[in-house]
Chain A
Amino acid sequence: ETGVTQTPRHLVMGMTNKKSLKCEQHLGHNAMYWYKQSAKKPLELMFVYNFKEQTENNSVPSRFSPECPNSSHLFLHLHTLQPEDSALYLCASSPLAGGDTDTQYFGPGTRLTVL
């Protein structure tokens, strides 16, 4: 039990749909992250939230919209996605954001397929 949960675990959506991914951490951490892993590529950091404030956006297209209502919850809102956005989306949390030695605790991911 990792303390970081993600729902749904699998999602299939059309290009015109709007959907949201949810992440919840039960570890009392202050930082949360969204990562993307495309096939045969390394994990790519998308967004970082520290104390509910977005502190990093790694040039992610606006069709991905994050939301962090509190330190325990993180959402990724999806709209008008492209087939190349199909990937595994991982959420993580850590005690502090920006801590180089801070261990990140990952959720199991949401496998997204865009048709």
Chain B
Amino acid sequence: ILNVEQSPQSLHVQEGDSTNFTCSFPSSNFYALHWYRWETAKSPEALFVMTLNGDEKKKGRISATLNTKEGYSYLYIKGSQPEDSATYLCAFVSGTYKYIFGTGTRLKVLA
């Protein structure tokens, strides 16, 4: 059974703080890793697709890194804003149609 773990499960940060969280996945059978952002009552929205060890992706104040050898990816948010409040999901792809999601990290940014 392949497990994808995300930590922490939830966190609260002050506006302006930078934060990061982790997605841990099996280090074998790696095809890709996806990050999604999911606001309450909305649809999950794709942030990044990462495929190569050492990949770094950036979109505005959000960035992500990937280490496939040790099986983890970090998502960073610089200067958090209240609109960043959401659940951040990662999905590990281990083959065709083999998407395994984590339970997410719920972020609350306090104004």
Contact = CB atoms under 8 A, between A and B. Distances in A.
Contacts of B45: 2, 106
Given A90-B44, A101-B51, A108-B41, A48 B4 contact: no
Nearest to A104: B46
Contacts, number: 50
Interface residues of B, number: 24
Interface string B71-87: 00000000000000000
B99 A107 contact: no
A2 B36 CA distance: 14
Q: Is the interface of A mostly helix, strand, loop or mixed?
A: loop
A4 to B, nearest CB: 7
Interface of A: 2, 4, 40-45, 48, 55-56, 90, 97-98, 100-101, 103-109
Given A42-B102, A43-B89, A45-B99, A100 B44 contact: no
